[in-house]
Amino acid sequence: MRLPYVTLDVFTDRRFGGNQLAVLPDARGLTTEQMQAITREFNFSESTFVLPPTDPQNDAQVRIFMPGREVPFAGHPNVGTAYALAMIGHVQGKPVGDILRFEEQAGLVQMAINRDGSGHPQSTELTAPASLAVGQPKPVAHVCAATGLAPDAVLQAHHTAQTVSVGLPFTIVELASLDALAAVKPDLAAFDRHFAGEEGDALYLYVRTGDACVQARMLAPLHGVVEDPATGSAAAALTGYLAHIAAADAGTFPLTIAQGLEMGRPSIIQGVAEKSKGIVHAVRVGGPSVAVMEGFLTV
């Protein structure tokens, strides 16, 4: 088979920033094993494979792979895949409108496409497929072992190290300073010792830099990604969780997440959570993407 592909930088408006993504807009005929092998060949943090939907009311089934495994949901793959399909103009022959509905293992993911005056996509935004789920806290000692940080680098004034998900679980950890964030050094043996087989086996470390702004790093070495420059699913979980623990029982809670600065791939993720009667009922994250390469893959 000779299959077209496109690569993009996601959560950035300039090439060679953001998070890299490979998209195969027509993956019909590929096996799961081939998809996993192709993902390892690209060696980005994730690649996506677009298939016909099981329900014709939806636009596509999207399968998402990290180098080490398939995942039920992820942020930058959805944002980038929607951008790629809007740029192409169709999903396997079906025209692309302003809304795309993706079937994924975690559920239905709705994508909104924002266009400029000429109809070209400018940015895309996902609505998380699952309600906010708050799991078990993690021992701070385990976080410190996995990151090389001293215990006083972990700030616990607002929350402890906490497992949170809106479709994919992460352990959310607030750090005391940008110096602590910059000092993080992943210890793969400690990850394997303390997080293997655990829910929330990827760490999302952040520092508050303003009233609705944070800077973050994401570590997932157990899945073949030591560090990720932009992680929409983690940003969505963080956005929802900070709204959840906010004092107000209702409102709209925006959050701007800067990520990837330590990797030389700066990214900006825009998140927003809606809360009423003390319950977070919708989380969205989005941003721009830039096409980088296109070609054909022979399988």
Domain ranges of the chain: 2-129+287-298, 133-284
Helices (H), 148-216: 178-182, 188-194
Tell me if residue 146 falls in helix, strand or coil: helix
CA 113 to chain centre: 17
Q: For position 121, what pLDDT does the model report?
A: 95
Query: Does residue 199 carry a catalytic annotation?
Result: no
Fold for 2-129+287-298, please state it. Answer: Diaminopimelate Epimerase; Chain A, domain 1 (3.10.310)
- Label residue 76 left, alpha or beta by phi (over 0 means left) and psi (-120 to 50 means alpha): alpha
Task: Give 172-224 pLDDT, tens digit per residue.
Answer: 999 999 999 999 999 999 999 999 999 999 999 999 999 999 999 999 999 98
Tell me if residue 253 falls in helix, strand or coil: strand
Give me the catalytic one of 33, 41, 46, 227. Answer: 46
Q: Does the fold of domain 133-284 match that of domain 2-129+287-298? A: yes
Q: Which residues pair with 251 in a beta bridge?
A: 275
Task: Give 128-180 pLDDT, tens digit per residue.
Answer: 999 999 999 999 999 999 999 999 999 999 999 999 999 999 999 999 999 99
Full-model pTM = 0.95
| Rounded Cα–Cα distance for residues 186 and 169 (Å) | 19
Helices (H), the chain: 32-42, 75-88, 140-147, 178-182, 188-194, 232-245
Q: Which residues pair with 208 in a beta bridge?
A: 214
- Return the sign of the alpha-carbon dihedral for residues 193, 197, 199, 200: positive
In words, the CATH class of domain 133-284 is: alpha beta
